[in-house]
Amino acid sequence: MHPPALVVRGGEIVDATGARRADVRVVDGEVVEVAAGLDAAGARVLDAGGCVVVPGLVDLHTHLREPGDELAETIESGARAAALGGYTAVVAMPNTEPALDDATVVGSVLARGAHAPCDVVAAAAITKGRRGEELAPMGELHDLGVRVFTDDGFCVADAGVMRRAMEYSRALPGAVVAQHAEDAALARGGHMHEGEWSSRLGIPGRPEAAESVVIARDLELAKLTGARLHVLHLSSAEGVRLVREAKEVGVRVTAEVTPHHLVLTDAACASYDPAFKVHPPLRTSSDVEALRAGLADGTIDAIATDHAPHSPETKDRPFEEAPPGMLGLETALGLVLTELVEPGHLTLADALAALSWRPAAIAGLDDHGGPVGVGALAHLCVIDPSAAWEVDASALASRSRNTPFHGRKLTGRVRHTLLAGEPVVVDGEAQR
């Protein structure tokens, strides 16, 4: 059964080819006409007046917690949160229980994701059980469509294992090895960024060097092997500098940054609120500046949420006992528009590139992020850039509530999301 024909009317299209005012006609899930003043007779009309119409957002870094921690999130609830946030595709991280390290587990996640209100693709573990020792069957997983390999949550500590994973990935078209760059030995026992605030608060810290030593090593391995490396949740000025220099000499590296590392600093931990605990940790204002500069100059390719739901039972504990991670899918776009685009740190087009077409390219999602043109699958997001709203943790679609942005006033919100032509979000409401 095909969704009915519809017309997205009155918006301004912004995609990788530029901006233009036009309506979009969608039939059988595909864009069939893009022109101003389309006749909408007989079609369902989605009002895009005052809005920008863009390719659906793509999140490279989503923790859906299924299988293993369905109390915190499920594929269904996470995909609904994603659709509400404007995403039409998310890459599900493999640090589930069991880990996504073999074809059976990955296959079951893909099967459950197939009916979700957002495309769900799986990243798979680099090593069996994410233990950092023996490579997962990367070829078999690639056959299932996996392109992103990562032990995220854990850093692959063994340089020999990382080298072999990179060498192996070269034989797999489109594959990329993604690293949670935190040296476990340096970060051990730390709960926030190591610096002035950690000493003042008496909370043991995780030094910036825990990130940069791993990035520096992995860049050398990418050089040695010629493989693609993706740096997950880049958080430090030094990390930005290393990635920038590597790109200049042609290393095949991409990097992502989270909204929270772009808008929060370690000073937030002074509240001792576990909502601000995350790995890698929130860092200093000079790190935030470097991350913003790296995003603006293209050193950082993508904004990824690292959406990390934790049920209140596990997260609402003293800072040093709480697990790291925060929600991201439903607040990412609003934060980027409010804190980066509106003040002029980033153009709207650059923000959308980092939220949609560049992450789509990194994950090899050919159907997502492409220009809004005839013949394209209608994965679209309609954004009202002037909609003012306040983040309410209790109103989120996620099963969890661990957002550090509760009560924050944002400007810019998703009005509609279309997944292959199906309006899965209409006027800010999830349709299923």
Residue ranges that bind Zn ion, judged by CB under 5 A: 152, 180
Is the CB of 102 or the CB of 152 nearer to Zn ion? 152
Cβ 235 to Zn ion shortest distance, Å: 10
Q: Where would I find the H helices in 85-207? A: 103-113, 138-143, 159-169, 184-187, 196-201
Is the CB of 53 or the CB of 264 nearer to Zn ion? 264
Q: Which of 226, 231, 190, 223 is nearest to 208 (CA)?
A: 190
| Amino acid residing at 398 | S
Cβ 335 to Zn ion shortest distance, Å: 19
Cβ 153 to Zn ion shortest distance, Å: 6
Cβ 380 to Zn ion shortest distance, Å: 29
Alpha carbons 179 and 253: distance in angstroms, whole number = 11
Alpha carbons 425 and 383: distance in angstroms, whole number = 11
CA 370, 376, 378, 382: dihedral to nearest 10 degrees?
40
Alpha carbons 164 and 352: distance in angstroms, whole number = 34
Establish whether 306 is a catalytic residue: yes
Q: Which two tokens stand for residue 341?
A: 């685009």
Task: Give, as one character, the DSSP assignment of residue 93.
Answer: -
Strands 229-231 and 176-179 turn out to be parallel
Inter-axis angle of helices 237-248 and 285-296, to 10 degrees? Answer: 30
8 A C-beta contact, residue 284 and residue 193 = yes
Cβ 125 to Zn ion shortest distance, Å: 13
Report the half-sphere exposure of 221 (CA within 13 A, side-chain side): 28
Is the CB of 180 or the CB of 358 nearer to Zn ion? 180
Q: Determine the 3-state secondary structure of 210 from DSSP.
A: helix
Cβ 352 to Zn ion shortest distance, Å: 24
Is the CB of 117 or the CB of 190 nearer to Zn ion? 190
The residue whose two tokens read 């050919």 is: 366
Cα distance between the two ends of the chain: 17
The residue annotated as part of the active site, out of 23, 101, 306, 384, is 306
Is the CB of 15 or the CB of 208 nearer to Zn ion? 208
Other CB atoms within 10 Å distance of the CB of residue 342: 15
Is the CB of 362 or the CB of 382 nearer to Zn ion? 362
Using Cβ positions, the residue closest to Zn ion within the complex turns out to be: 180
Is the CB of 305 or the CB of 331 nearer to Zn ion? 305
Alpha-carbon distances, residue 7 vs 1, 54, 89, 270 (angstroms): 19, 14, 22, 49
Sheet holding 18-21, edge to edge: 18-21, 12-15, 52-55, 380-390, 409-419, 422-426, 429-430
Cβ 185 to Zn ion shortest distance, Å: 17
Alpha carbons 294 and 281: distance in angstroms, whole number = 18
- Catalytic residue positions? 306
